[in-house]
């Protein structure tokens, strides 16, 4: 599998750059965005495997961005960053679709451990989906005609037909 691509959405450029350095040193591809609007634009253009999203940002905050990401059907893991340590913010973030939550200040090693853990889980999930056998439908109904391929039976309006 290629390198995982991580998106950092954070309004503080120094924090963004610092996180990017640690992630690139671990071999990840990294994209950056300064707020939720920029973050959504990156997601529309590039394949993202994980997003690290700050909650408090101008223009569009992290919770709103994450809700839009989930509404659009993206299922990659999202780790929320916040200076807020209040339990209610963690609970709200997790209930809105975040996979993990880390409060500032954090150590780079803790963030890397959480990124690695989420990506391990997500990559296993994607492999399971990719290798899943397609479900073969053996029972068909068209109007009043029913066909069961497994038992090789045909019914018209509920009555068996030879």
Set out the domains of the chain in order of their start, with CATH numbers: 5-131 (3.40.50.2300), 134-162 (no CATH)
Phi/psi of residue 115, nearest 5 degrees: -60, -50
Half-sphere exposure of residue 44: CA atoms within 13 angstroms, side-chain side: 8
71/87 Cα distance (integer angstroms) = 25
- pLDDT at position 135 over 60: no
Q: Which of 35-44, 75-84, 101-110, 131-140 has the highest mean pLDDT?
A: 35-44
Q: Residue 98 gets which letter from DSSP?
A: -
Cβ–Cβ under 8 Å, residues 75 and 57? no
Average pLDDT for 131-160: 80
- Chain Cα centroid distance, residue 155: 45
Give the residue from 44, 37, 49 showing the smallest Cα distance to 2: 49
Q: Which of 1-5, 22-26, 84-88, 89-93 has the highest mean pLDDT?
A: 22-26
pLDDT at 136: 65
147: pLDDT confidence band, cut at 50, 70 and 90? confident
Min mean pLDDT across 44-48, 120-124, 138-142 is at 138-142
Average pLDDT for 83-90: 73
- pLDDT at position 137 over 60: yes
């Amino acid at each position: 599998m290629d390198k995982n691509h991580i998106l950092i959405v954070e309004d503080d450029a120094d924090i963004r750059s610092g996180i990017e350095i640690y992630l690139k040193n671990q071999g990840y591809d990294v994209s950056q965005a300064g707020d939720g609007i920029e973050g959504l634009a990156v997601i529309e253009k590039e394949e993202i495997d994980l997003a690290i999203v700050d909650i408090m940002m101008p223009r569009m905050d992290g919770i709103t961005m994450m809700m839009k990401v989930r509404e659009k059907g993206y299922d990659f893991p999202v780790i929320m960053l916040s200076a807020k340590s209040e339990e209610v913010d963690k609970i709200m973030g997790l209930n809105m679709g975040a996979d993990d939550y880390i409060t500032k200040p954090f150590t780079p090693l803790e963030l890397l451990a959480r990124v690695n853990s989420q990506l391990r889980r997500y990559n296993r999930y994607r492999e399971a989906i990719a290798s899943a056998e397609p479900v073969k439908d053996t029972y068909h109904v068209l109007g009043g005609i029913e066909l069961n391929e497994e038992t090789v039976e045909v019914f018209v309006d509920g009555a068996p037909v030879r």
